[in-house]
Structure 1
């Protein structure tokens, strides 16, 4: 006797309550509905961490051997309990994946052996941590808001040994001129913060870079977006309005269209070039965020 397939209790419930013709009046928004989330994909509203870990896993699977080496040199990445996956026995999180990709791009254009580095807006310090773990950096100077600096100081003091931490100088934004003096740096870095500053402040930092630095790495958005499906404008419409005005690049674009993003690259490199005497040595999309771009600028030595 042939056994007939039976509907188990789980799918009996799903069929009666979540997936049936009564719940699909038309197909207009079918693929972003609870019906389709039961059929083919996880609900994006409640599975953000699942999708984040899927992204991390896929990025980890594509890392080059050189980037695996860069990542493994960075000890104590687990501090702070990040969302992570385990790939080939190695804990991997998105922040340090981004950090080694940034480092790979910079290394192609700048000799970091014995370098003096200046970072404007260091967040909690992942880039500094990655640089000091991978290269014999002479000094690493961080300019930041005092409130943010309290976090990076604590974090970097925890993840670095005494010798490496001693290479870091922390300068609050209110003390820049007196603290920098006539110091020069081989490399200036800004990741994901110039786009959040007022135009005058961005111009100030570009001028500072021109006066004190020989190379400049920037990784920031190419424009603004109004796609409510990305975050539901969870922080409110006023927060969205405040986010639209800062920065040098304020055009609203389709950040999910690679051609629209790439079309803004010339404006990006023009906006972030510190001065006429600088050239763009390299630029490209900054993985993984769709609307981020990265560029490396070099100051041209005057001809004698």
Structure 2
């Protein structure tokens, strides 16, 4: 063999271990195995962070100037050591990209300034952080499980200045009667649920929607349109029991191909119907929630109105 045009030591190794004569002789699956992972595609099984950072980078490159400004107004995003990229001098992670897109969607249809907001299932608080950093809210109420409340309170107390943090009120579902008292005593301009209705019992979701129907002016929902059983996505790494539990939650339990845009679009019609709180409520805006293929977002308005507005 001519050394000038021969293999490098690296490809000498790959020829023995990955791109072998036996492997390249089989065309059936080579694009999804080690042959193509060395020729054209990084192995997604071991390159998840690489792909995540690439996705974040490309989303960052496409941000509008308005969303770049929204992102810059959200200070202390580095708390918690997120997986992030640097773009135009800004440290950007997936969580806050999603939060900026959510704020953009809401601000396009609502005047958020002066609003009383309720979020059901706030996670660690990134949506609250993003909205309060971009809009002058009257109050922000968070309903969640006690352990999540503990994390959320600590995080928001760290990233927000004292004056804004003082407008946040935490309500634990583990406190007897706490949620019922919240809906009995207060009314809200906007209720938000992002990625948690789909993980609740359907009966619990219905109970929330019934209370939202009579105490809120608007509801914003951002959740999956259905379930999936594609083991190639995560190897069912948490076990069959967790898979079964996940399939049993939420109001939308149809198993679909979440990477088929037509299947997602068709299922989105069920989504819009399932999350409408009740009679007199109208969906005023909806669409796919970037970047995930099977998440949908919808904003509903209570055209009947809510009288009194206590607690503003």
Same fold (TM over 0.5): yes
How far is the alpha carbon of 1:260 from its aligned partner? 0.4
Q: Does 1:187 align with 2:179?
A: no
Counterpart of 1:64 in structure 2 is 64
How far is the alpha carbon of 1:25 from its aligned partner? 4.8
Relative to structure 1, is the Cα distance of residues 180 and 206 closer, same or farther in structure 2, using a 3 angstrom cutoff?
closer
**1:143 touches 1:171 (CA, 8 Å); kept in 2?**
yes
**1:195 touches 1:220 (CA, 8 Å); kept in 2?**
yes
Q: Does 1:198 align with 2:206?
A: no
Counterpart of 2:75 in structure 1 is 75
SS of the aligned residue for 1:264 comes to helix
4+ long deviations beyond 6 Å: none
Summarize deviations over 1:43-87 as a string: whole Å, max 9, x none: 111110000000100111111000000000000000000000000
How far is the alpha carbon of 1:237 from its aligned partner? 1.0
2:51, 2:299 → 1: CA distance? 31
How far is the alpha carbon of 1:3 from its aligned partner? 8.9
| RMSD value, Cα | 1.3
2:186, 2:244 → 1: CA distance? 38
Q: Does 1:100 align with 2:100?
A: yes
SS of the aligned residue for 1:112 comes to coil
**2:281 touches 2:304 (CA, 8 Å); kept in 1?**
no
Map 1:282-293; keep pairs closer than 5 Å: 282-293=285-296
Which structure 1 residue ranges, 5 or more long, are not aligned?
none
**1:182 touches 1:212 (CA, 8 Å); kept in 2?**
no
Q: Does 1:275 align with 2:275?
A: no
2:45, 2:219 → 1: CA distance? 38
Counterpart of 1:266 in structure 2 is 269
SS of the aligned residue for 2:5 comes to coil
TM-score, normalised on structure 2?
0.94
Which structure 2 residue ranges, 5 or more long, are not aligned?
306-312
TM-score, normalised on structure 1?
0.96
SS of the aligned residue for 2:81 comes to coil
